[in-house]
Chain A
Amino acid sequence: MAHHGIDWAVLAKSPKFVELHSKKKAFLFTWWLIGSTAFFALPICAGYFPEVMKIKIVGRLNVGYFFSLFEFFFFWAIAVYYSHRSNTFFDPLTKEVLAEISKERGK
């Protein structure tokens, strides 16, 4: 590695970095789990509760159709929310950590 002068262990323990990675990890895994739950609910409902999926909502369109459509919009929403959260919170925090690294390197 080209950065021999850096004590990565110390950096990994710096308060800013700890804040960044713990908040980011919590955010990412929480939303991944929520997304996965929504995703697996579809085959589970279709497989084990087919009668529910057949209930008509609008015209010929049933729960199964709107459930599938909902998945698309829900995953889009996760993507947009994550982008927003990154741009407004994680990215600025990352910049602060990077500034700290440069300071460390300059020592």
Chain B
Amino acid sequence: MKRLLLAMTLVLALSTLAVAAPHGNPQPVTGLVAGGGVSTPVVRSAESSAREEKKDASTNRAITLGMFLAIIILTGVIVVKSARSTKTTSDYYTAGGGISGFQNGWAIAGDYMSASTFLGIAGMTALFGADGFMYTVGPFFSFVTILLIVAEPCRNAGKYTLGDILSLRTSSKVVRGTAALAAVVVSAFYMIGQMVGAGKLMQLLIGIPYNISVVGVGVLLVLYVTFGGMKATTWVQIIKAALLMASGTLITFLLLWKFGFSFVGFYDAVATSPAIQDHVRGLLKHAAPQPGFDYGQRFLEPGLILKNPLDQISLGLAFALGAAGLPHLLMRFFTVPNARAARKSVVIAMILIGAFMIMVTMIGFGAAIYLTPQKIIAADKGGNMAAPMIAQFLGGGPGSLAGDLFLAFVCAVAFATIIAVVSGLILAVSAAVAHDFYVNVLKDGKPDQQQQIRVARITAIGIGVVAILLGIACESQNIAHLVVLAFAMTASSNFPVILLALFWKRFNAGGIVTGLIVGGLFTIAVVLASPTMTYPKRIAADAKKVVEVLEKKQVEGMTLAEKEVHTLAKARADYEKNKDGTSFIGLDAPLFPLKNPAILTVPVGFLAAIMGTFLFGNRREEEKFAELYVRQNTGYGISDAVDH
């Protein structure tokens, strides 16, 4: 088994090399690349002054692939070691509860900070300044809710999954089944975002074709999770977090060094950069500079991309409550021995994540100073290359050995990030399907350890295959809404149900099922009717405007520049293609005005859970509240989950 695994990992790694070899420089990918744990809004480049010389952050292929190989081998060794000691279901799902609070804190940080936290937020700051920094507060605040409301009670009351906690309130199989379904759906949305992000990232960083990247990453992850279980996943996440912190700290240190560690000097350089001033003028669509307007200072002020305040509040609500209901994060709290360790792990994770968020925005500002937003947009419209490019610059620039090494290192860290985040997701889905659905709903909890663990592994393989297929199918889809959807969904379904189950005596099976289903479905419905979806008629209308302007010019007898002729042809084609189209659910225009649905769906989710309690519940279940309440507060009985 072990040898087989090692051989397969190696073959996989080598085949990636072979495939990668014939391709030239990486193709710049349009749009935002990394959809992930922490979503950045779809960033569309202002078409302003991005037409300077095209500068690819071309990676040195041998060095980059060497780094990737090193990461694959390092993590592969961990998986093989973990595979030896993964014997029981508890080992497989929660590493036997034997992870320390300190280790778990690093693993949570590794689980939560996705490629989009690193590349996406650096890019957002590089292109839109202060908004990037403001944005990071949301995903960080998530942990205040996790720390105060869910971490300890969940550790005290649960075993492997969300379904376990809810099942303490009621023995209903319908509750377990619904909880499993909710976990699968949410994780699937989250995972599609990650897989598509992974494919595009590999394409962008080292030029491996999209489909092959998705298959490669998927197969690697399935191998890791199936053999190594939670122990391997945890260590992969810890290593990834350490690499991420190391690269973030190093880049920030080198950047600040250039300014004698003076924040004032650093931000002064941002505001006085002519390229940034020019870029901001383009963003504000000022054709000519307005006298007295400080464009550089505007970069340090909010509102360049995050414009609608209600949308920001709604997004904030999704962050505030959503992360606390993410199945793969909840699962991390079952890996530690007790509530005290769970608490410690959140505090450690908060220190790491907070520090990283602050650093990553400084990296973004640094990239804006030294590389200019124009060059960053030229490499990738979404700004995802800002962090890798600034690493290359600080190492000595393109072509220098240190520069290439540093660039390759940052790319490899981004790769490790994808592995760590997706393996946590696969494990959470496999726990929901195998532990909640198969063992407890279908088989009444009867199967023995061997059988349970086999089912869990088969499930993990199945999920991996589905993830690969979905990843390939969604290549050209706008995936940004999936991550928004995942956070909003857990905020409106899982979170209300967890909160009420832990703290409301009257809550019961009727409320749990109604809350999960109504909260979840309503969020999906609102997102489908929101401006996040693509509305062809709107694209057609925009295209028509362009056509009219240019045609008017022609009528007036002006000759169009070559660029304008091209634009006209494209606008005409866009108009023809989109004029009769409708959105995914057949709408001409969005019914809901905001991109982030949480402000509406969270109250609806709570209301549904409360109404369901009164309409479909029976009072007998309240008796169970006393038990859950004593347990979640004291941790009584959790030793059963640890000693096995």
Contacts and interface: CB of A to CB of B under 8 A. Distances in A.
B633 A94 contact: yes
A9 B627 CA distance: 7
Given A20-B634, A60-B264, A80 B134 contact: no
B358 A31 contact: no
Contacts of B635: 94, 98
Given A36-B141, A59-B268, A82-B343, 15 more contacts: A8-B630, A21-B629, A21-B633, A28-B148, A32-B148, A35-B141, A35-B148, A42-B137, A43-B306, A43-B313, A46-B134, A47-B309, A53-B302, A60-B264, A75-B141
A78 B623 CA distance: 34
Contacts of B633: 17, 20-21, 24, 94, 97
Interface size class of A (residues with CB under 8 A): 35 or more
Contacts of A9: 623, 626
A76 interface: yes
B209 interface: no
B351 interface: yes
B640 interface: yes
Contact of B137 (A58, A72, A78): A72
Interface in B263-312: 263-265, 267-268, 270-271, 297, 300-303, 306, 308-310, 312
B149 interface: yes
A7 B137 CA distance: 45
B350 interface: yes
B33 interface: no
A75 B271 CA distance: 29
Contacts of A98: 634-636
B637 interface: yes
A86 B343 contact: yes
Given A31-B148, A60-B264, A98-B636, A72 B354 contact: yes
A2 B144 contact: no
A40 B263 contact: no
Contact of A72 (B149, B357, B629): B357
Interface of B: 130, 133-134, 136-138, 140-141, 143-145, 147-149, 263-265, 267-268, 270-271, 297, 300-303, 306, 308-310, 312-313, 315-316, 320, 340, 343-344, 346-347, 350-351, 354, 357-358, 503, 623, 625-627, 629-630, 633-637, 640
B141 A71 contact: yes
A11 B147 contact: no
Contact of A101 (B141, B301, B344, B636): B636
Contacts of A94: 633-635
A3 B320 CA distance: 36
Count chain B CB atoms within 10 A of each CB in A9, A12, A42, A79 and give the residue with the most.
A79
Residue of A6, A29, A60, A69 with highest tally of chain B CB at under 10 A: A60
A43 B300 CA distance: 16
B11 to A, nearest CB: 45
Contact of A75 (B140, B297, B310, B637): B140
Contacts of B301: 50, 53-54, 62, 64
Contacts of A43: 134, 306, 309, 312-313, 315-316
Given A75-B354, A83-B347, A68 B636 contact: no
Nearest to B298: A54
A72 B136 CA distance: 9
B109 to A, nearest CB: 14
Nearest to A34: B144
B309 A48 contact: yes
Interface string A54-96: 1010111110110011011001101110110011000100100
Nearest to A9: B626
Nearest to B141: A39
B359 to A, nearest CB: 11
A63 B372 CA distance: 25
Contacts of B133: 65, 68
Contacts, number: 167
Contact of B302 (A12, A64, A72, A83): A64
Contacts of A87: 340
Given A25-B503, A50-B301, A61-B263, A75 B630 contact: no
A91 B340 contact: yes
A76 B623 contact: no
A29 B499 CA distance: 11
Nearest to B135: A68
Nearest to B152: A86
B45 to A, nearest CB: 22
A56 B629 CA distance: 50
Nearest to B168: A1
Nearest to B315: A43
Nearest to B348: A79
Contacts of A12: 625-626, 629-630
A8 to B, nearest CB: 4
B313 A47 contact: yes
Contacts of B145: 32
Contact of B313 (A31, A44, A65, A101): A44
Given A35-B141, A76-B350, A65 B147 contact: no
Given A44-B309, A68-B133, A79 B350 contact: yes
A87 B340 CA distance: 8
A54 B486 CA distance: 33
Contacts of A42: 134, 137, 316
The 7 A-B pairs at the shortest CB distance, nearest first, are namely A47-B309, A59-B264, A43-B312, A8-B626, A8-B627, A12-B626, A46-B302
Given A12-B626, A46-B303, A53-B301, A75 B350 contact: yes
A50 to B, nearest CB: 6
6 contacts: A8-B630, A50-B301, A75-B140, A78-B147, A78-B148, A97-B633
Given A8-B626, A64-B301, A71 B140 contact: yes
A32 to B, nearest CB: 5
A79 B343 CA distance: 9
Contacts of A79: 143-144, 147, 346-347, 350
Contacts of A1: 627, 637
Contacts of A11: 626, 630
Given A28-B148, A32-B145, A40-B316, A60 B271 contact: yes
Most-contacted residue by chain A among B264, B297, B309 (CB, 10 A): B309
